[in-house]
Amino acid sequence: MKKEDLIKINNYLWEIPQSFRKDMRVPGRVYATEKMLSQILLDRSLEQLVNLTTLPLIMKYVLAMPDIHEGYGAPIGGVGATLMPEGAISPGFCGYDINCGVRLLKTFLKEEEIKSKIDNLAEEIFKTIPSGLGKGGGFKLEDRKMDQVLEEGMVFLKKEGYASSKDLEHCESYGRLEMADAAKVSFLAKARGKDQLGTLGSGNHFLEIQKVDFLDDKELAENLGLKEGDITILIHTGSRGLGHQVATDYLKNFLRAMGRYKIDIPDKELACVPFNSPEGRSYFSAMAAAANFAWSNRQIITYFIRQTWKKFFKTDKLPELVYDVAHNIIKIEKHSFPEEREVLVHRKGATRAFPAGHEELPEDYKKIGQPVIIPGSMGTSSYVLIGQPSAMTEAFGSSCHGSGRQMSRHEAVKKASGKEIKETLKASGVIIKTNSISSLSEEAPYAYKDIEEIIEVISQTGIAKKVVRLKPLAVIKG
């Protein structure tokens, strides 16, 4: 695809017209500056975006967020909505890491209070939370409890004493998708997840101790309970092997089922069926169960952090949840076209960004809008934004999800060693704790796009409003 194939709508929005390829059912849209678009055109992400426009009963347009990059089927940073109940449901447009997402905790401590202890604190958290790499955690689930985690998510963890009411309120979908059915999750998936609650995993997953270093909107920041110099903790992980297996199982199953529904798609990885088919409903129930598992995973990590905090600082004032958002998920939502319709919103590398007044938000955030947490790459700043009305009218209530990769792992490794990356980050005030120093360079900051540029585009489009910037002090990586 060339730049000439796109129509400029404004300085931050481009359209791939439906006439670009004859199998397109709707146009594609890309949020980017002209400079970013040139970069995006270097890989196959927009061809992959066009493939998404061919899904049955896809509505209005398919969106690419400014952090888009090439994936393995759907691009990372894509959003699309199919009409309920006959519209397509596609596991590949959610990804293998179902409900990969981020949660932000505020700690009531200031930078100066932890500065001298940060290395020890990071070490303690690193020891407490297994960072994956083939390892399970200390939190083993009996079969009966596994099914409850899958069906009730954080609601079950609250009953068991691992979560508070406030934790549930400050989590997307209150930490539970009700359509979840444990019976739709395979034995293999459950076996993989058995010892994985409370584990980070590897790849781009991490846990970060940060400080609030810039306030873009003091009043909104205060509403979130954040002030300059406050220490926060960011957790980025998902549904681990359990979710990967759910996606694997259903993709295989959909590939065979597709013929029955006479669906033809340009990439096997985008295999899909109608939502209201038996296969579609089964996947949705299993995906919802995996999403509940992911929220539970981030909650158990939070529980471990609180235990560590209590012991380390000898305090009862423990970290509180600001918000938890999913960025790989499929949800049933209402959007206007312009008449209101129920649709299946697929977000692959995109974050929900509901504005003030939305019925799904808890009371405190209903007044201001939903916090949108955007992690930077390792060692770079993260941001908290607040969803705005334009997100609903323009982007199916969605925003970007992170920096977006711009360099392959192979290329990134050639540029510097893990040890060099660790030293460079240390010099800039960021401590790294990891089990795998060799894979550190794959996640080096230079392998990712500039988060500042991405946040700027999102702010300019009016999808979400910038509130605070968070600077990393210590990163725990798998």
Partner 1 sequence: MSFNFEFFDHPADTGIEAIASSKEELFKGALKGMAFILKPDLDKTKTKETLKEKIEVLSSDFDTLIADFLNEVLAKSEINKGIFKEANIEKLTNNYIKAEIFGEKIDSLAKEIKAVTYHNLKIFQDKDGNWRARIIFDI
CB of 22 to partner 1, least distance (A): 21
436 binds partner 1 (CB under 8 A): yes
| Secondary structure, 3-state, 317-375 | CCCEEEEEEECEEEEEEEEECCCEEEEEEEEECCEECCCCCCCCCCHHHHCCCCEEEEC
Which of helix, strand or coil describes residue 116? helix
State the amino acid at position 148 in one-letter form.
Q
Kindly give, in sequence order, each residue whose CB lies less than 8 Å from that of residue 432, ignoring residues fewer than 6 positions away. Answer: 378, 421, 422, 425, 426, 440, 474, 475, 477
| Percent helix, percent strand, percent coil in the chain, to nearest 5 | 40, 25, 35
Decide whether 179 or 407 has the Cβ nearer to partner 1: 407
Rule CB under 8 A: is residue 267 a binding residue for partner 1?
Answer: yes
d(CA 3, CA 18): 15
User: Contact, 265 vs 250, CB < 8 A?
Assistant: no
- Please state, in angstroms and rounded to a whole number, the distance separating the CA atoms of residues 383 and 145: 35
Rounded distance, CA 63 to CA 77, Å? 8
By CB under 8 A, the residues from 38 to 57 that bind partner 1 are: 43-44
CB of 64 to partner 1, least distance (A): 14
- Least Cβ distance, residue 39 to partner 1 (angstroms): 12
CB of 459 to partner 1, least distance (A): 25
DSSP element (H, E) containing 134: none
361 within 8 A of 370, measured Cβ to Cβ: yes
> What is the x/- site pattern for partner 1, positions 124-143, by CB under 8 A?
--------xxxxx-------
> From the list 24, 168, 251, 345, which residue makes contact with partner 1 (rule: CB under 8 A)?
251
Member of 66, 71, 280, 387 binding partner 1 (CB under 8 A)? 71
Among the listed ranges 66-74, 279-287, 337-345, 360-368, the one in contact with partner 1 (CB under 8 A) is 66-74
Q: What angle do CA 51, 56, 62 make, to 5 degrees?
A: 50
Q: Which residue has the tokens 């390829």?
A: 21
Nearer to partner 1, 32 or 109 (CB): 32
> Is 333 a binder of partner 1 (CB under 8 A)?
no
Among 269, 279, 324, 394, binds partner 1 (CB under 8 A): 269
Stretch that binds partner 1, among 19-27, 340-348, 389-397, 436-444 (CB under 8 A): 436-444
CB of residue 69 vs partner 1: minimum separation in angstroms?
6
In angstroms, what is the minimal distance from the CB of 452 to partner 1? 21
Indicate which residues carry an active-site annotation: 401
Q: Can you tell me whether residue 407 is helix, strand or coil? A: coil
408 binds partner 1 (CB under 8 A): yes
Whole-angstrom distance, CA of residue 441 vs CA of residue 182: 38
Q: How many CA atoms lie within 13 A of 40 on its CB side?
A: 32
User: Residues touching partner 1: how many (CB under 8 A)?
Assistant: 46
* Interface with partner 1, residue 236, by CB under 8 A: no
Binding segment toward partner 1, per CB under 8 A, in 8-16, 171-179, 184-192, 300-308: 184-192
CB closer to partner 1, 32 vs 385: 32
Peptide bond into 362 cis (omega under 30): no
Query: Interacting stretch for partner 1, rule CB under 8 A, among 57-65, 199-207, 272-280, 283-291?
Result: 199-207
DSSP single-letter state for residue 448 = B
**Does the protein bind partner 1 through residue 97 (CB under 8 A)?**
yes
Report the interface residues with partner 1, using CB under 8 A. 43-44, 69-73, 76, 95-97, 132-136, 188, 191-192, 201-203, 241, 244-245, 247-248, 251-252, 255-256, 267-269, 271, 405, 407-411, 435-436, 438-439, 478
